[in-house]
Structure 1
Amino acid sequence: MKINSTVILTLILLILMLGSGSVSAFLGFNLGSSALKGVTTPDGRPTSKFASAKSNSSQSGAVTLLKEEDILKTVKARIEGKAKTAQSDKLAEDDEDINGNKQQQKEKTQKVVEEKPQPGFPITSESQGVTFAVQSARYSGGDLLLKVKMQNKGADSVRFLYSFLDVTDDKGRTLSASTEGLPAELPANGSSFSGTVSIPTALLDDVKKVSLSLTDYPDQKLKLDVANIPVDKRD
């Protein structure tokens, strides 16, 4: 009887130990599972890594290739745009230059109109419908400036070579002179042309009057003489 109770007690202890061990193992498994939630095993396959990296790279930095036709169209449009801009700038500059020249011409015309005639002028010579007139005589910048106006009312055009213009003083001495603005040819029945004859002041120290003589070239059919131009009064 004593042996049986010992065996039964031993069995009960074994059953309790097994039960407590099973409960402990179950509880430990549950705790471990809860702690490892969300944790995944890293993928050690190299091919999968390369595939993943390639996928991410293609998604983040995708390159779009343009068609050659689109590129050419874009370049052509930019070139045409620059050309139009340059042309517009050129036209604007030309307009400014034209307007500036018109304004200068207008001011010059107004100045000529407002200028009072100099006493004793104009002094005019005429031959075969061609007139040669000295409008005024003034000193400026070391030169005597004779303002000259020419007009051809004849039926034929007339040519001149101003290197043949003779300038003499009241003592018969020949003076050197230069011309500016005078036409090489006067058209028939044309409008008047204005210019300047310049004589160095150093040649006019004791001179009171000068004379101009001009003939056409090469025919020399007419002769224009403007004599006794007063130059003794200096401004």
Structure 2
Amino acid sequence: MKLNATVALTLVLLAMMLGAGFVSAIWGFTVGHEALKGVTQPDVRPTNKLAGSKRATLGKEGVAMLREADILNNVYSQVNGKGKNAKTEKKEEEVKSDREPTTETKTPEAQTNQPEFPITSQDKGVKLEVRGARQQSGSLLLNVSLKNESGSAVRFLYSFLNVTDDQGRALSAVTEGLPGELPANGENFSGTVSIPSALLEDAKQLSLTLTDYPDQKLQLKMSGIPVVQ
């Protein structure tokens, strides 16, 4: 009796487990089916992808196909238009060149301006004269002379010799050959005034002033001394 009851209980439990498993399977399938509604499998075929993308592109952009006749007409018009424009521009340039007067550039004739020497200054019987100028050993040399026709000797301190250019710049100068005391005998005494060429730069003319020492009664002045090259 006990054995039969055990077997019966085992069969009942087994039937309940099978029934519970079947019910769980049905319920899971139903839930999964409801969840997957509206979900479709993507089309992975390459031909369908290309066709679909082409239709989408045409639909979005709306590309209009041009006829071959229209294309040829446009090309022909552009070519003829450019040719006409080029011819028109060429004709306009020719007409403009014919209207404009021809201007000949004449080269100015070279003029040689010779320095006008001597340049003279005289005061109270004393005469200062610049007879010429030349460039030598990096200096401008002025050939000068002094003559005293007054009744008394005159003294000079040549460090007081003032030389300026046409730019208003004072220039240093060295005097050689002229006497410190000029006798009243009417004799010409020659010498030179040396000015470094580096100081002259773009100077064109010089001015010179000399006075006696120490009385400073004489004022020997001259300007327009050309700077020869």
TM value normalised by structure 2: 0.50
Which has the greater radius of gyration?
2
Q: TM-score, normalised by structure 1?
A: 0.48
